[in-house]
Amino acid sequence: MLHTKSMFNLKMVIGKILGLILLMEMIVHGFRFEVVDGFRFDVVNGFRFGVVDGLSMEYYLLRCPLAELIVKIKVIKALQADPTLAASLVRLHFHDCFIEGCDGSVLLNSTKQNKAERDSPANLSLRGFELIDEIKEELEKQCPGIVSCADILAMAARDAVCKAGGPLYDIPKGRMDGTRSKIEDTINLPAPTFNASQLINLFGQHGFSAQEMVALSGAHTLGVARCSSFKNRLVGGLDANLNADFAKTLFTTCSASDTAEQPFDETRNTFDNLYYRALQCKSGVLDSDQTLYASAETKGIVDSYASNKVMFFSDFKRAMVKMSMLNVKQGSQGEVRQDCYKIN
């Protein structure tokens, strides 16, 4: 144990030294900038730094050099033990960002004085809280008061996507943790019964195009839905947008209980484009899934992603980076929580 701890501390010292060397390079040689995929990057001797809306790709380089490595190792280890956590981490990040921005508000526990987002019916099936707390605990040992829970959640979702076979991408860091978490705010989450027009409108309020909305919906290539979120499709006659054979599968699933789970596609733990192919076959699980193929405005996008995984991966990672920057808190707007489940 002592040997492992000493090695870890040595690596942290080395990381800080490298960071200081890089800082000297910036001072001595200056830097230029490039714009890639709509984002600005500062370049120092070939080393690319991203600066986006006040956040930075290398925010922790000097502050906590091993922060990203710690997150990545913890996520990989967790997914090796339970591959279903990949979907959970991505969903947790989405539910955080769409309410009050990406500020870790979804992680906060309710108190006697306040009912938090976490206890909303829309969030009761969320998972991954324990992993985020575990990562935070390790980071507090190495770099007390430095790495925010909002950043941990964003990095964990990114690493989960990659580990599940999805695109590799980076995100800017430097988010602060919010201090507000209200159960009533979760009314702004998209409902599983939404049609394409409602989805386009809701995502549009956050600055996303219809194409970006369809790309983000592709996160449903991972995970499952509970029967309570789609059983409405099985009453009142056959849904015209539901494959008859797949309807039988859903009936069988729901015969167990409202909490019974149905995978969104055939490879629930693998990030691929089979979700879109399922929509082409009228085998989308939720109304809000199948509507993407039923609507003329989004059908062509689904077809493109179903036939071109590279295009989907490229659009998905850009949309995820954009989502990770929704209404982020900086400076005095937030704090770095000591524990992710309560404000300081």
Q: How many CA atoms lie within 13 A of 148 on its CB side?
A: 26
112 CB neighbour count, 10 Å cutoff: 5
- Residue bearing tokens 């059908």: 299
What is the spatial distance between Cα 148 and Cα 140, in angstroms, rounded to a whole number? 10
Task: Give the C-alpha distances (Å, rounded to integers) separating 308 from 277, 304, 305.
Answer: 11, 6, 5
What is the spatial distance between Cα 207 and Cα 225, in angstroms, rounded to a whole number? 26
> Could you report how far apart the first and last alpha carbons of the chain are, in Å?
31
Helix, strand, coil tally for the chain in percent (to 5): 55, 10, 35
What is the spatial distance between Cα 289 and Cα 276, in angstroms, rounded to a whole number? 9
205 CB neighbour count, 10 Å cutoff: 10
- The 3-state secondary structure of 167-235 reads CCCCCCECCEECCCCCHHHHHHCCCCCCCHHHHHHHHHHCCCCHHHHHHHHHHHHCCEEEHHHCHHHHC
Question: What's the angle, vertex CA 74, arms to CA 94 and CA 342, rounded to 5?
Answer: 55
DSSP character at residue 286:
S
Q: Is residue 95 annotated as part of the catalytic site, yes or no?
A: yes
User: Which of 93, 95, 206, 220 is an active site residue?
Assistant: 95
- Residues known to be catalytic: 95
